Chain A
Amino acid sequence: MKPLEISNLVIKYKTLRGWITALDNVSLSIDGKGEILALVGESGSGKSTLGLAAAGLLPSNARAEGSIKVNGRETLGKPYSSKVAAIFQDALASLNPVLTIGEQLAEIFIIHEKLDRVRAIEKAGVFLSEVGLSKEFLDKYPHELSGGQRQRVLISMALAMDPELIIADEPTTALDVTVQAKVLLVLKNLVKKAGIPMIYITHDIALAMHVADSITIMYAGQIVELSSKYDVFENPLHPYTKALLKSIPKVDSDVEELYVIEGDPPSPDNFPKGCRFHPRCPAAFDKCRSKMPEVTGVNGRLVRCHLYE
Chain B
Amino acid sequence: MNEDSIILKTISLKKYYEVRSKFLKRIKQFVKAVDDVTIEAGRGETLAIVGESGSGKTTLGMVLGKLLKPTDGRILFKELDITHSLPNHLRGKIRIVFQDPYSALNPRLKIAYSLIEPLQTMSISKRDAVEKASHYLQLMGLPESYMNYYPHMLSGGQRQRVVIARALITEPEFLILDEPTSMLDASTQAQILRLLRSIKKEKQMTYLFITHNLAVARYMADRIAVMYAGQIVEIGGKNSIFQNPLHPYTRTLLSAYPPPNPRSQWNPIIPEELAVKYYENKCRYIDRCPFKIQECEKNTPTDIKVDENHYVKCFLYVKT
Tell whether A pairs with B.
yes
Hey, which bits of chain A sit against chain B, CB under 8 A? Answer: 42-43, 146, 148-149, 176-182, 185, 203, 205-207, 209-210, 229-230, 233, 243-245, 247-252, 254-255, 257-261, 264-265
Q: Which residues of B contact A250 (CB under 8 A)?
A: 215, 218, 259-260
* 8 Å CB interface, B216-264 against A: 216, 218-219, 252-264
Residues of A within 8 A of B262 (CB): 209-210, 229-230, 233
Given A176-B53, A181-B256, A149:B273 Cβ within 8 A:
yes
Q: How far is the CB of A144 from chain B (nearest CB, A)?
A: 12
* Distance between Cα atoms of A261 and B158 in the complex (Å): 14
Q: For B107, what are the chain A residues with a Cβ–Cβ distance below 8 Å?
A: none
Contact (A176, B218) CB under 8 Å given A247-B187, A260-B190, A264-B155: no
Candidate in A203, A206, A255 with the most chain B CB atoms within 10 angstroms: A206
Whether B268 and A185, one on each chain, are in contact in the complex, defined by CB atoms closer than 8 angstroms, is yes
Asked if B271 CB lies within 8 Å of chain A CBs, one says yes
Partner-A contacts on B (CB < 8 A): 52-53, 155, 157-158, 185-191, 193-194, 212-216, 218-219, 252-264, 266, 268-271, 273, 275
Q: Chain A residue with minimal CB distance to B158?
A: A264
Known contacts being A233-B260, A258-B193, A264-B158, is A177 close to B212, with CB within 8 Å?
Answer: yes
Does B271 contact A178, Cβ atoms closer than 8 Å? yes
Min CB distance B209 to A, Å, is 12
| A177, A205, A255, A265, most chain B CB atoms within 10 A | A177
Q: Which residues in A have their C-beta under 8 angstroms from that of B261?
A: 209, 233, 252
Name the A residues within 8 Å of B185 (CB-CB): 42-43, 203, 265
Known: A42-B187, A248-B215. A209 touches B256 (CB 8 A): no
Report yes or no: A176 in contact with B52, Cβ–Cβ below 8 A: yes
- Residues in chain A near residue B212, CB distance under 8 A: 176-177
Residues of chain A contacted by B258 (CB below 8 angstroms): 181, 206-207, 209-210, 251
Given A42-B185, A251-B259: A177 and B219 within 8 A (CB)? Answer: no
Which of these, A185, A206, A249, contacts B193 with CB under 8 Å?
A249
CB distance from A23 to the nearest CB of B (A): 18
Contact of B190 among A178, A180, A185, A247 (CB under 8 A): A247
Query: A209-B261, A249-B215, A258-B219 in contact; A243/B187 too (CB < 8 A)?
Result: yes
Of A185, A205, A243, A257, which is within 8 A of B260 by CB?
Answer: A205
Q: Please name the residue on chain A nearest to B181 by beta carbon.
A: A249
A89 to chain B, nearest CB (A): 14
Residues of A within 8 A of B52 (CB): 176-178
Closest to B257 in A: A251
> Are B219 and A247 in touch, CB under 8 angstroms?
no
